[in-house]
């Protein structure tokens, strides 16, 4: 890869994007958990309009596509992810109903009250949980649903090391009751919230990365940015094993009033 004309920042993003392109999922989750969240949504028909915001390469969107009726649009900022997403849909013969579009979640082009369901696994943090819930609400029909997964604290207090890590990474992390309250204040009935089990992090997220990390380090041997990135990934993973009693991902499902 040539980085002659790119800023360090752009180069970083390209590298991170390439790394995640080699993984089926770009965040914690599992097919079982996607289906569990889907089981709370009761308004879908063949006419339904669904958006998966921050869909990545679509590992989870395809599970939705295979189990939910209607049209699904996957939205992601990165063209490479959307390219892989659309190939993925074709392979599964879902291309007529499941389509990837490059767009930013803070400038969505949906019509007001167009959507029956907004989905977003491990991605709303990019805009912030409260802001995303408030700004996306107008795109939902009355009685439409939103289902998002989001990093959350499990306890009121926690060791300094993990607290400081998250305050730096995503200060929007909060306890489950506070997130539920935010959902209610944003104009939704909080229909359900549940913690993603550990296998969503271990078997479905961190373990598949071992192989991807090896390949990546081999390809970018001596590249400091790549080596630093992988070191960070490993640090984040070790913190998960050490502190998984204190935080994790939680699915929040809400219904527009
Ligand atoms: N939902 C996927 C991906 C989660 S990772 C999964 O669970 O596997 C978060 C995703 O958000 C990434 O694919 C990233 O490219 C995307 N993203 C980051 N900022 C974005 C923005 N402003 N608009 C749309 N997508 C964004």
Residue 128 belongs to some domain of the structure: yes
CB of 21 within 6 A of ligand 1: the answer is no
CA dist 242 and 234 (Å) reads 12
Helix intervals (H) in 114-223: 129-137, 160-169, 176-185, 207-219
Which residue out of 62, 77, 81 has the highest number of ligand 1 atoms within 8 Å of its CB and is therefore the one to mutate? 77
Q: What is the pLDDT of residues 51-60, one digit of tens each?
A: 999 999 999 9
CA dist 122 and 153 (Å) reads 15
Q: What is the pLDDT of residues 87-139, one digit of tens each?
A: 999 999 999 999 999 999 999 999 999 999 999 999 999 999 999 999 999 99
Residue 230 belongs to some domain of the structure: no
Please answer whether residues 118 and 53 qualify as being in contact, where contact means their C-beta atoms are separated by less than 8 angstroms: yes
Domain that holds residue 89: 24-197+246-256
CB of 123 within 6 A of ligand 1: the answer is yes
Residue 106 belongs to some domain of the structure: yes
Identify the CATH number of the domain in which residue 138 sits. 3.40.50.150
Q: What is the pLDDT of residues 143-190, one digit of tens each?
A: 999 999 999 999 999 999 999 999 999 999 999 999 999 999 999 999
Please answer whether residues 93 and 71 qualify as being in contact, where contact means their C-beta atoms are separated by less than 8 angstroms: no
Residue 18 belongs to some domain of the structure: no
Residue 159 belongs to some domain of the structure: yes
Residue 4 belongs to some domain of the structure: no
Q: How many residues does the chain have?
A: 257
Residue 239 belongs to some domain of the structure: no
Residue 220 belongs to some domain of the structure: no
Task: State in Å: Cα 13 to ligand 1 middle.
Answer: 12
CB of 28 within 6 A of ligand 1: the answer is no
CA dist 140 and 116 (Å) reads 6
CA dist 73 and 51 (Å) reads 5
- State the pTM of this model: 0.94
* Number of domains composing the chain: 1
């Amino acid at each position: 890869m040539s980085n002659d004309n790119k800023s360090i920042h752009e180069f970083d993003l390209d590298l991170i994007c390439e790394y995640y392109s080699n993984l089926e999922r770009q965040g914690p989750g599992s097919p079982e958990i996607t289906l569990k969240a889907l089981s709370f949504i009761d308004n879908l028909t063949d006419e339904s309009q669904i958006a998966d915001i921050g869909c990545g390469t679509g590992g989870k969107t395809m599970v939705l596509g295979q189990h939910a009726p209607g049209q699904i649009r996957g939205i992601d900022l990165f063209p490479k992810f959307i390219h892989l997403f659309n190939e993925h849909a074709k392979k599964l013969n879902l291309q007529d109903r499941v389509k990837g579009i490059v767009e930013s979640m803070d400038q969505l082009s949906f019509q007001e009250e167009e959507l029956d369901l907004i989905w977003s696994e491990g991605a709303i943090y990019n805009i912030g949980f409260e802001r995303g819930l408030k700004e996306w609400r107008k795109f939902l029909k009355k009685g439409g649903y939103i289902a998002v997964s989001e990093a959350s604290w499990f306890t009121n207090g926690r060791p300094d090391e993990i607290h400081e890590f998250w305050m730096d990474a995503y200060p929007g992390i909060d306890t489950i009751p506070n997130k539920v309250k935010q959902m209610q204040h944003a104009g939704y009935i909080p229909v359900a919230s549940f913690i993603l089990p550990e296998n969503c992090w271990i078997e479905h997220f961190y373990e598949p990365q071992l192989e991807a990390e090896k390949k990546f380090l081999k390809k970018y041997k001596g590249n400091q940015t790549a080596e630093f990135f992988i070191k960070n990934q490993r640090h984040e993973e070790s913190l998960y094993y050490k502190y998984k009693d204190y935080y994790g991902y939680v699915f929040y499902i809400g219904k527009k009033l």
